[in-house]
Structure formats: structure tokens, C-alpha cells
Amino acid sequence: MGEKKYILVLGGSTFMGLQLLQNLCSSENEDYEVYYINRGKKYWNNQVKNIKNAHHIFGNRKEKQEYRKLIEYESKKLGIDGKKKWTAVFDFCGFKYSEVKSAYEALKGKCELYLFISTDSIYDVCDKSVRKEGQPIKEEMACRPKTLTKQAEYKKDDDYAHHKLKCEEFLYNYVEKEELPFVILRLPDVIGPFDDTGRFWAYMKWITEFNKNTLYMDDEANNLKMSFVYSQDVADICLKLINMPKDNILHKSYNIACEEVITLKQMIEQIAKIMDIKLVNIKNTDNASKFYPSVDCGPIDITLAKQMLGWNPTPLEEVLEKTVTFFKQAKGKYREEENYAEKKLYKKIKTD
């Protein structure tokens, strides 16, 4: 065994965070001592508890001062004092800048890498005039509109995106860079095993169990190309970043996604093909409710991540196959998440 590496995951009970914990605690990573902080909510039959050597710490991110004190206490208990540091901190659950600020106050000078999981939805509250028609969005296009009126309008339209961008702005504008070496990953819609949003599973259920109900498609579903990212690829790049030389990659944001882009109609057709089911009940309409995309910005450009991080995503067709396989095997096994997907689908059918 080599020198012990201390890893902290903020979040981690489900989806990408869960998969990262599984990666970190695999037998090939014996040098990692892994801790994760969350409220202890149970997902996927409390799957996280099956991970050996992952130490759970109960903490509520919304109680910001208590959360800061908790990180400080756990750091002190491990002897992390600035000379000894967290090797990496992965933040999957920072949704407001005040939450990121409290983590920063606890971690400054005490970690070698802070990785913040952001979203491509931030582009929906940014200046749209800098975009180039027909081209994917690049990282440098994340700038607020110049007028306060337009900023307020975009915030009203997408409060989540506003707050995630505010988190990024805090890191860029208020953090002392030497005190918190950070990397920001901007993710599009994420698909893969342990997806607790219910969206992908809902479409699978429509294809297999409810296709007597019409699935309505509008022009956006037929024509708008979307970016996706595979949850396991996100976990893998997080793991890779721990040992990557960091001189040239820090204090930057990176779009990460699959190479391929796809329309919603193409995606549903591909899922049906994987499941060997013929689609017969799709109709066009002017304005259909749909689960994807969750953003309006369109595809994102991943050139920077490929150049700087060695980003090499799984082909989208393979991602869809693996995700379909997971949910086929999950049927009847994870009733809470399955019921959630069914309710999501019922609501859509009722709306349409």
C-alpha cells in the first residue's frame, strides 16, 4: 500500500455520486480512505450501504454553519490541518452559492482538489447573443446578460440555473485560488444506472407497458439535437482527476458529454430498437410535454475537456444499451424508484 489518500464526497447516495463511491472503494484503490456527507436518504434499497470502506457522515447541506463546522470537525479528527490535506473533495450537492461558501470556509487550505459538479443549464441564464447559430456552446459563453432586467428575466425563467451559475461565480470571483484549487464540470442531462430522476425509466415503461397511450412529439422533439453524458463516465473522470497533473487544468470549467448528439425522437426510437419493440403510437403535435431536454441551450462543445482532461466518453449507443439493461434488471427490484418513474409517466400521459 502507498501513502493514504483522503477523499471527501459531498452527496453520494445516488446516481453519479454513488457510482463514484463504488469506484473509489474498489479493491484497486486501497490507498483511498473515503468519506461522504449527506442526510442519509435511502435510494435504490440503500445501495450505498453495500459499499465497503465508505464512511458515512450525517450532515444537512442546508444548515450551512453546522455543515461547515461538521467538515472542520471531521478534518481535524483525521489530522487534516493544511500540512496534511484532503486529496480531493467532490461536490455533487452544492446548489446555492451560500452552500458552496460554507464548504469553502471549511476546506480552504485543506484540500488539493475541489471538484464542483455544475450543469449546462447555466447557459440558459447567460447572454444568448454570444452564441453562434448551429454550433455547440463553448465554456466561454457562460456570461450573464449585460442588463439587470434581462438577468432578472432569465432568473425567473430558471431559478436552478441561476443559482448554479452563482456557485460558479463565487468560485471564480471570491475564492482565493491557492486556498482552494478547483475544477468545474458542466454536465448536460445525465443518463445511466441509478438515475433517480425517473425520466429514462418512464420512457422505457411507455415503450414496454403503456404504448397503447399515444406519445406526442412536437417540432423540438423531432428536430432539436441534445447532449447527454453517461453517469459512469462522470464517475470515471472524477477518479482520473485525483492523480492527474493539475498545473494547467485548475480554475477552469469544462463541458463534458458524449460525442454524439441526438433528438428526443431518435433517442426513443433507439431505446425501442434495443428492446426489440416496434413503436406504433407516436403522433406529432404543436406543443408536447417531454422529459428531455431539461435545458434550452442545445448541444455543448466538449473540445476543451478532450484537450485538457483527456475526456474520452463512451459512445452514446453503448450508453443507451447499458442504461436500458440496468433498468430492465431493476424492474420489481427497486420499487420506490420504479413507482416514481410510473407516476412521472402517468402525469405526462394525463397532461398530453
Could you report the per-residue pLDDT of 332-349, keeping only the tens digit for each? Answer: 999 999 999 999 998 887
State the angle between helix axes of 264-274 and 199-209 in degrees (0 to 180), rounded to the nearest 10. 60
Cis status of the peptide bond prior to 293, with omega within 30 of 0 = yes
One domain, residues 186 and 127: yes
* In the predicted structure, residue 351 carries a pLDDT above the cut 80: no
One domain, residues 219 and 145: no
| Average pLDDT score over residue span 72-99 | 97
> What pLDDT score was predicted for residue 214?
87
> What pLDDT score was predicted for residue 152?
96
* In the predicted structure, residue 160 carries a pLDDT above the cut 70: yes
One domain, residues 66 and 197: no
One domain, residues 240 and 209: no
One domain, residues 54 and 181: yes
First-residue to last-residue Cα distance in the chain: 58
How far, in Å, CA of 136 to CA of 122, rounded?
A: 14
Could you report the per-residue pLDDT of 190-200, keeping only the tens digit for each? Answer: 999 999 999 99
One domain, residues 203 and 146: no
Structural domain of residue 276, as residue ranges? Answer: 193-226+259-287+315-351
How far, in Å, CA of 205 to CA of 291, rounded?
A: 13
pLDDT-above-90 percentage for the chain? 88
* In the predicted structure, residue 1 carries a pLDDT above the cut 70: no
Could you report the per-residue pLDDT of 195-248, keeping only the tens digit for each? Answer: 999 999 999 999 998 777 888 899 999 999 999 999 999 999 999 999 999 999
* In the predicted structure, residue 123 carries a pLDDT above the cut 80: yes
Could you report the per-residue pLDDT of 18-31, keeping only the tens digit for each? Answer: 999 999 999 888 89
Instruction: Identify the CA nearest to 191 among candidates 232, 160, 224, 223.
Output: 232
Main-chain dihedrals φ then ψ at residue 310, nearest 5 degrees? 70, 30
One domain, residues 131 and 199: no
The answer to whether residue 297 sits within a structural domain is no
The answer to whether residue 165 sits within a structural domain is yes
* In the predicted structure, residue 2 carries a pLDDT above the cut 80: no
One domain, residues 236 and 347: no
> What pLDDT score was predicted for residue 262?
98
Query: Is 231:313 a contact under the CB 8 Å cutoff?
Result: no
Main-chain dihedrals φ then ψ at residue 253, nearest 5 degrees? -105, 145
Could you report the per-residue pLDDT of 98-114, keeping only the tens digit for each? Answer: 999 999 999 999 999 99
How many structural domains comprise the chain?
2
The answer to whether residue 154 sits within a structural domain is yes
Could you report the per-residue pLDDT of 273-285, keeping only the tens digit for each? Answer: 999 999 878 889 9
One domain, residues 176 and 44: yes
The answer to whether residue 265 sits within a structural domain is yes
Among 66-80, 111-125, 267-281, where is mean pLDDT lowest? Answer: 267-281
Average pLDDT, the chain: 95
